[in-house]
Amino acid sequence: MKKLFLVLVVLAISLTACGGGSAAEPTPIPINTAIPTAEVIQNEAGESVAEDTEAGTERTSPVDGMVQVFIPAGSFRMGALDANAAEDETPDHQVTMSAFWMDKLEVTNAMYMLCVQAGACEPPTTFASEKHDTYFNTDEFADFPVVNVTWGYAVDYCEWAGKRLPTEAEWERAARGDDFRNFPWGDERPGSTQANFNYQIRDVTRVGSFPAGASFYGVLDMSGNVWEWISDFYDANYYGSSVASNPTGPLAAVGNGYRHVIRGGSYQDVEKDIRVASRGFASGPNPDAADMESIEYTGESSSKIGFRCVSDN
């Protein structure tokens, strides 16, 4: 996959995390905030970042209970650095970034439910996953990544949580760090302990289930499981003209449709598509579409696309 509706129902999700995986899946590390509670340790939304904040420092977002990881200012090499380079991943180029905080995990069903209950988010376009007819509104999958959300839904969630969708450069820096690795964990080829990919499990898995696949800064699930929505419009040729400092992608939609970047690959994707440099795209909302009930107007959603958010301070 490189290259809908208002039904309001009374939904309840238990605030108790459950494993949700099969015996063939890796044992997940404890993720206390995958299911938010009323007792999260809060960080003041407008608090400035101390100059001596260490890379990988963690804090808890006050609205949704998500753990965030500090990504320091610095420069890194963006784009493909290996023999599997696709044309839209080149040329590789030096990028300088300001510091930011990135969600350690993909946004969960339980977290997204808080936004729905607050009236700030629309429910997913369908409550099913590929294998399960009921996925979003069940206790069993409360701490699994929310899927079947459009780009606009993801934007609404991040805004509600006091955050935003990451830029493509922010996503790649959080995954790659300061060296030239091809996967979040390094250059070792992926296996069953690093990522949910290549239909090994054939569906999404609980967030944080692959600690061996942690990125340079300790961010989890950046390869496989679900693709992640990115704020940037997609342009296959953008790297040839990208600015060198804090790039945010094209200023307007490029080519056919209102395509936005997706990153990270999914549980169905093969090795080359879960590399740090791999770029995908899916259609975002088209405000000029004639039919406001159409997918063209709302944008695509998929059981293989979720998201995470970032914060500037």
For residue 129, what pLDDT is reported? Answer: 94
Confidence of residue 20 (pLDDT cuts 50, 70, 90): very low
CA distances from 257 to 1, 89, 230, 231, 300 (A): 16, 20, 16, 15, 11
For residue 257, what pLDDT is reported? Answer: 86
CA distance 283 to 302: 11
For residue 313, what pLDDT is reported? Answer: 86
Whether 92 shows a pLDDT value over 50: the answer reads yes
Q: Which of 29-38, 68-77, 208-217, 252-261 has the lowest mean pLDDT?
A: 29-38
Whether 95 shows a pLDDT value over 80: the answer reads yes
Reduced 3-state DSSP string for the chain: CCCCCCCCCCCCCCCCCCCCCCCCCCCCCCCCCCCCCCCCCCCCCCCCCCCCCCCCCEEECCCCCCEEEEECCEEEEECCCCCCCCHHHCCCEEEEECCEEEECCCCEHHHHHHHHHCCCCCCCCCCCCCCCCCCCCCCCCCCCECCCCCHHHHHHHHHHCCCECCCHHHHHHHHHCCCCCCECCECCCCCCCCCECCCCCCCCCCCCCCHHHCCCCCCCCCCECCEEEEEEECCCCHHHCCCCECCCCCCCCCCCCCEEEEECCCCCCCHHHHCCCCEEEEECCCCCCCCCCCHHHHCCCCCCEECCCEECC
Reduced 3-state DSSP string for 175-198: HHCCCCCCECCECCCCCCCCCECC
pTM, entire model: 0.86
For residue 89, what pLDDT is reported? Answer: 98
Segment 217-269, tens digit of pLDDT: 999 999 999 999 999 999 999 999 999 999 999 999 998 889 999 999 999 99
Question: For the chain, which residues make up each domain, given as ranges?
Answer: 13-23+55-313
CATH 3.40.50.300 fits domain 13-23+55-313: no
CA distance 179 to 216: 9
Confidence of residue 35 (pLDDT cuts 50, 70, 90): very low
**pLDDT averaged over the chain?**
87
Whether 69 shows a pLDDT value over 70: the answer reads yes
Whether 13 shows a pLDDT value over 60: the answer reads no
For residue 23, what pLDDT is reported? Answer: 35
Using CA atoms of 91, 259, 269, 86 in order, give the dihedral in degrees to the nearest 10.
-20
For residue 50, what pLDDT is reported? Answer: 67
